[in-house]
Structure 1
Amino acid sequence: MPSLSRRNLIRSTAALAATCALPMPAWARGASLTHAKNGFGEVSGEGIQLAIGDHHFTTGGRSGHAVAVNGTVPGPLLRLREGQNARIHVTNNLDVDSSIHWHGLLVPFEFDGVPGVSFPGIGPGERFTYEFPIRQTGTYWWHSHSGLQEQAGHYGPIIVESAEPDPRYDRDYVVLLSEFTPMHPHEIMRKLKVGEHYFQRQMQTATEGDMSGEMRRMWGKMRMNPRDISDVTGTTYTFLINGHGPQDDLQLAFNPGERVRLRVINGSAMTFFNVRLPGMPMTVIAADGQDVDPVEVDEFQIGVAETYDVIVTPPDGSHAIVAEAMDRSGMGVASLTSHEGHRATPPPLREIPTLSMVDMGMMDHSGMAGMEGAEAMSGGMDHAMRDKSLVPEDVKVGPGVDMIAPMPMDRMNFPGLGLDEVPHRVLRYTDLKAKRMNPHRSVDREMEIHLTGNMERYMWSFDGKKFTAVTDEPIRFGYDERVRVKLVNDTMMAHPIHLHGHFFELVNGADHMHQPLKHTVIVQPGGTATFDLTANEPGDWAFHCHLLYHMHAGMMQVVTVRPFPAGDGA
C-alpha cells in the first residue's frame, strides 16, 4: 500500500505544476553574479516568487558554473512569520528537473520537495506552487533535492519570526556556511568513485607521526589513512560565508554594547565546520531552530544541515567569524565590526587532526579495548572489521560493507574531530537541554539502524542496502507511534543524519522531558547516537546522510508514517 500511495501522490501532485514558465530575466540565462552586501536578498509575504537559473559565479581565484535562485548564490533569505500561510511559487528555468526542500519546516509531505518520494519534481520551464501553514519559529534553510544542484549553489536561509518580539538580542544576522567549486558536481562524484582519496593532500606518510608498525599495518588492512577525514577538501573548495569567500571581505556591522544574534547554518554539501570568534564567548540559544537552555561556549562543530543560534556581545573593534573546515584544509571568514571598512585578522589554520582507535570503534573513551577490539589489535583486525556476527541478521554484509566497528559506543559527549583537546569550552550534544518541556511519552518500541559503507569503492548505505534497493521497503512507523532509534556508525567517517518532516529528541543524558529537539544528528565515527521519535507527521519522508555525495551514493531510505489520521487521505 505505501508504494501504491506514493505513485498516486506523484500523479495527483503533478497536476499542481503549471506548464507555463514565468518570463525569463537576463540573469536566468547565465549572467555573471554580483554579490549582495550580506550575500543574498530577502523575500517575504503571502505570495513569494522564486526562479531557478544557470549562472556564472566567481570568488577569489575560482570561477565557474552555478545554479542560482533569484540571481544570487546563496538564494534569497525567506523571512516568514509564525501563523502565516506560505505560498511560494517556484519557476524552474534550468534545462533539467529541479526542486526545493524546506529543511526543518513542518509541512504536509506532498510539499516537502523530494522528487520520487513526495512529489514528481519541477520540470524544465515549469512552475510549482508550494503552500503550507507556518507552525513554528526559528532558523532553517532550503535547498534543492534534485541531482547534485545543492553543491552548485541552489540553497538559501529561512528565518521564521515569532508572533511575539524576542528581547534577547538587538541585532540579527544569518551566517550561512557553504562551499564553492568550479568543478561540476558529477565530476566530483566520478573522481570519488575512481579514488576516494582524490581530493586529499594531507595524508600521513609512512614515516610521519608516532604510530607503531603494528598500528600502521592495521590502517593498511583497512585501506585507510588516519587523516582521511573529509572526502572533498580545500584543494577544490573555497569555503563561503553568505556566499563570500575569504578574499571577498564580508563585513557585518554592529554598535558597541549590542547583543548580536548569529544564526549559523551549515548549508554546505560536504563540510563539517568548527565555528568560533577567537577570544569571544558565544551563548548557544537554539539548535536546529528549537530553543535550548543557554550554554556558553568558545567554539562548536556544526555538521552539514545543522543550525545553531548564538548570541555574542562584541566589544568595540573588528572580530573574525571563523568557520574552519574539520580537516583544517581551509576556512570561511567574515568580520563582525563596529568600524566600517576595518577587516579582522583571522587566525592561522590549526594542526590537522588524525583518527584514533576510538574512531575505529575499537576502544572506549578510557582507552580500554573490549574483547573484539583486543582481538583486532592482536592480529584479527581485518576479520573483526568485517565480521557479520557483530551486526544484526538484517544488515546486509557484502561488497558494499568493508568494515563493521567491533565495539561502537555512545559518543554524544564527543565535541567533534580535532576539538576534544583544545584548551577552551566546546559545545557537546550532552550540553543541550530543551527550553520547553516535551510531552511525557513512553517508548513503544526500539529499533537499530547501521550506517555502512565501503570507502574504497565509495559505496554508502543503511544496513548494507543502498537506496535503490529499498525504495519498495521503507522504514515503517505507525502514526503517533513513539520509537527509540539507535544509529550505529560502522564506518570511520562522521555522518550527519537527517529525517524529513519531524523533530526527534536526542537521548543525550537530559531528563526525558527536556531532551533537545533536532532534525539532524551527527553520528561520530565508530560511535552510536540515539533519539526518540514520535511519528506524528503522516506521509512518506526522506531519511538520509546529509553529506551530499554519501546520499547520492546510496545512504538514504524512505520513512513511511501510516495510517493517516481521520480526514486525511493516503
Structure 2
Amino acid sequence: MHSMSRRQFLASTAAIGALGAVPSLLIPTRPARAAAITTIQVDTRVIEVKGRAATVFSLTQPNGTHGLVAEAGQRFRVRLENRLDEETLIHWHGLTPSWQQDGVPLLSQPPLAPGAAYDYDFPLDRPGTNWMHSHHGLQEQRLMAAPLIVRDPAEAGEDTQDIVVLFHDFTFRDPDEILTGLKGGGDSTAGHWATQHSPGLLQRMMETVMPMGGMDHGTGHGGMDHGTMGAGMAHLHDVDYDAFLANDRTLDDPEVFRVERGGRVRLRLINGATATNFWLDLGRLEGRLVAVDGMPVAPVTGRRFEFAIAQRLDILLDLPAGEGAWPVFAVREGERARTGFVLATSRGTVERTAGEAAEAVQPVGLALERKLIATQPLALREADRRHTVTITEAPGYVWLLNGAAHGDHTALDVRAGERVEITFNDQTTMAHPMHLHGHHFQVVAINGERIAGAVRDTVLVPTRGSVTIAFDADNPGKWALHCHHLYHMAGGMMTTLEYQS
C-alpha cells in the first residue's frame, strides 16, 4: 500500500474512482452521498518470502489497488467478484452494515460461488482504519485480507502523510494441515512455551498477563495438551510460522516509505495475523496513539504499543527535521522474531535490519488497554442486559464459549435499544482476541475493576482473566461473536448475538 499526503490523496480521488467530491462534516442523520461502484476482485497472486515463491490470495481493484480507500459520509458501494475456483466470502471488519451484508458464511450470506459476484451498498457512518478479510474456512491464513480505510472529511485540510501497513503471520504449509495437527492428527509444529524462549519469561507472563492471584498449573478449567505441552499451563503460541510480513514483505526487503523532513505521518497499522499478537516498536521515534480499531482515544505517547490480533493502531509521528531513516517493527510476543517497514527521507540511508530483536519481548497483555480513554465514549447509562461468556477448552483442540462449540451454541439474546454488557471470562491456557460484528463497544472492566476505556471492536481477554464490554443494541440482526485467532475459531470458538423482537 503506497503512502500519500493529504494533498496528494485529494488530488487523486477522481483518478481512482473510489471517492467523490469531499463532503461537508458528517452528520449522522444526513443521508450518505452517492459513490461510484468499486469492484474488489478475489483472486490469487504470487509473492516471494525468504527467496521462495508463494501463491496467496488477493483482494484488489481492477487497477491493481490493494483493498479500498473510501470517505465517511458516502455509501459503501462495492461489487465483490470471485475469480477463484473455490467459494469465499469477505467480512468488512470495523464497518457496521446491515447484518445481511456482513460477510459471514451461512449467517449473513451464503458463500460466494466461483465466478459469481455480490453487490454491497450501505452508508459509511464513521471514519477509521479498518480491514477486509475472508470469513470462509482458513482462507485468511493465505493472506486473503486487505486494508479498508475510511477517511475523515474533517481532516481534508491537514498536511499529514498516511501510511497504511497490514501485518501477517506467514506459513508455507497448508492451513488445513496445521489445523489437523493441532487437533492431534499429525505434526502441528505447535507449542511454543514461554519458558522455551528466555529465562523468566513465564514469570513475566504471570506478572503482565495474569489477573491477581497467579496462574492455575493444574488440569482444571478445561486445560488440554497441545502436542508436547503440559495440560493447563498458560502458553502464548500454538502455531509456528515461517515468516512475519509487513505489506507482504519481510525485513530482508522491507517496504520503504519516503517521507518529508520534519513532516507529520499518520501510521494506520492493521494486525491481520491469524494467530500472532505483536508489540509495535517505533524504534528511535516517539509517537502518539490517537485511535484504536478506528475509534479515537485520548493520545497516548510512547515508543512501544501492545497490538493484538485483528486490532488497529493509528499513530501520529512528527519526524525529525534532518535527513534520516527510521525502521518500525512488529515483534511477535514472547519472542525476538519481527517484521517491519522503514520511513526514510529522500536522502536518508536505509540500512539492513535484522529479522530478530536483540531480546525477546514480553507477552501482550492489557497494560495499554488500561491507559486508553475514549474521546467519544458511550453515554452514561445502566446496563439493561448482562451476559457472561465463559471461555473453556477441551481435548482435541476444541475451544468453547459457554460450554458449546459453534453450531451447538445458544445465541446471546438482546433487544433493540438496550444497553448491553458482556463479560468474557477466560478459563483457558491462552489469551483470546474477541471480536463482535456489527457494533463498536466500550471496554468497561478488566478483571472486575471498572474503567472507562476505549471504544473498539476487538479486545484481548487474558488467560485466567476477564474483560467486560458495553454497547448499545442499535443494529438489529444476527451477528457473529468470536475469537479472532483463526484456528481457535475453526476449533469452535464462535457464537452469535441475535436481536429479539
Same fold (TM over 0.5): yes
Q: Could you tell me how far 1:282 is from its partner in structure 2? A: 1.4
Q: 1:517 aligns with which of 455, 474, 486?
A: 455
State the partner residue of 1:228: 235
Q: Relative to 1, partners in 2 of residues 1:435 and 1:211: Cα closer, same or farther, differing over 3 Å?
A: closer
CA distance in 1, matches of 2:77, 2:173: 34
Please state if 1:55 is matched with 2:45: yes
2:190 matches 1:199? yes
Letter in 2 for 1:44: A
Match of residue 300, structure 1, among 305, 313, 330 = 305
Task: After superposition, give the CA deviation of every residue in 1:157-192 in whole Å (9 maximum; x if it has no partner).
Answer: 111112222566621111211122221211111121
**The one of 102, 109, 114 aligned to 1:124:** 114
- 1:541 maps onto 2:479 in alignment: yes
Give the structure 2 partner of residue 282 of structure 1.
287
Question: How far did residue 438 of structure 1 move?
Answer: 2.8
What's the counterpart of residue 497 of structure 1? 434
Matched, 1:418 2:418: no
Cα offset, 1:249, TM superposition: 2.5
Partner of 1:364: none
Q: Deviations over 1:41-77 (max 9, x none)?
A: 97723210111123333222343231112389x9713
Q: Aligned match of 2:404 in 446, 465, 468?
A: 465
The answer as to 2:124 corresponding to 1:144 is: no
**Which residue of structure 2 lines up, in the alignment, with residue 70 of structure 1?**
60
1:107-186 aligned at under 5 Å gives the runs 107-165=97-155, 170-186=160-176
- Alpha-carbon separation, structure 1, partners of 2:170 and 2:200: 32
8 Å CA contact retained: 2:392, 2:403 = yes
Post-superposition CA distance 1:272-299 (Å, at most 9, x none): 0110111321101001101111111221
Match in the other structure for 2:333 = 326
Whether 1:476 aligns to 2:413 is yes
Q: Are 1:555 and 2:490 an aligned pair?
A: no
Question: AA paired with 1:474?
Answer: A
Which of 369, 378, 384 is equivalent to 1:438?
378
> Which AA in structure 1 matches 2:411?
P
Name the counterpart of 1:10.
Answer: none
Q: What is the DSSP-based 3-state SS (H/G/I as helix, E as strand, rest coil) of the residue aligned with 1:179?
A: strand
- Structure 1 gaps, min length 5: 1-35, 354-416, 421-425, 564-570
Classify 1:167/1:302 alpha carbon distance in 2 versus 1 (closer, same or farther; 3 Å).
farther
Amino acid at match of 1:281: E
1:103 corresponds in structure 2 to 93
Check conservation: 1:429, 1:508, Cα contact below 8 A.
Answer: no
Distance (Å, rounded) in 2 between the aligned partners of 1:183 and 1:138: 33
RMSD: 3.3
Structure 1 residue 476, shift from structure 2 partner: 0.8
2: distance between equivalents of 1:255 and 1:268?
30
The residue number in structure 1 matching 2:465 is 527
In structure 1, give the amino acid aligned to 2:484. H
Structure 1 residue corresponding to 2:350, chosen from 329, 343, 349: 343
Aligned to 1:375: none
Distance in 1, Cα, partners of 2:163 & 2:117 = 31
Provide, for residues 216-246 of structure 1, a one-character-per-residue CA deviation record: whole Å limited to 9, x for no partner: 995799654568311123xx33111112122
Q: C-alpha distance in 1, partners of 2:165/2:202?
A: 39
C-alpha distance in 2 between matches for 1:562 and 1:157: 33
What is the percent sequence identity of the aligned residues? 29
1:449-486 CA-partner distances (Å, limit 9, x unpaired): 111113x521111012100212xx31111111112211
Pick from 52, 55, 76: which aligns with 1:86?
76
Change (3 A) 1:341 1:203: same
| Alpha-carbon separation, structure 1, partners of 2:437 and 2:364 | 29
For 2:274 and 2:358, the matched residues in 1 are separated by 22
CA distance in 2 between counterparts of 1:558 and 1:143 reads 19
Match of 2:207 in 1: none
- Cα distance between partner residues in 2 of 1:216 and 1:522: 17
Question: Is 2:93–2:131's contact at 8 Å kept on the other side of the alignment?
Answer: yes
Partner SS state of residue 268, structure 1: coil
CA distance in structure 2 between the aligned counterparts of 1:453 and 1:102, rounded to whole angstroms: 28
Contact 2:47 2:53 in 1 (8 A): yes
Q: 1:433 to 1:150 in 2, by over 3 A?
A: same
Partner SS for 1:107: coil
In 2, distance between residues paired with 1:182 and 1:476? 41
On the 8 A contact 2:102/2:108 being kept in 1, the answer is yes
Q: Distance in 2 between matches of 1:42 and 1:246?
A: 30
Q: In the alignment, is the contact (CA less than 8 A) between 1:53 and 1:93 conserved in 2?
A: yes
Distance 1:100 1:326, change over 3 A: same
The Cα shift of 1:105 comes to: 0.4
Q: Which amino acid is 1:428 matched to?
A: L
Secondary structure of 1:502's aligned partner: coil
1:273 pairs with 2:278: yes
For 1:59, give the aligned amino acid.
Answer: V
Alpha-carbon shift at residue 141 of structure 1 (Å):
0.5
Cα pair distance change 1:556/1:220, threshold 3 Å? closer
| Stretch moving more, 97-106 or 161-170 | 161-170
In the alignment, the residues of structure 1 paired with residue 144 and residue 119 of structure 2 have an alpha-carbon distance, to the nearest angstrom, of 18
- CA spacing shift, 1:209–1:321, aligned 2, 3 Å: closer
Shift of 1:515: 4.0
In terms of Rg, which structure is larger? Answer: 1
1:254 to 252, 259, 276: 259
Partner letter of residue 542 of structure 1?
A
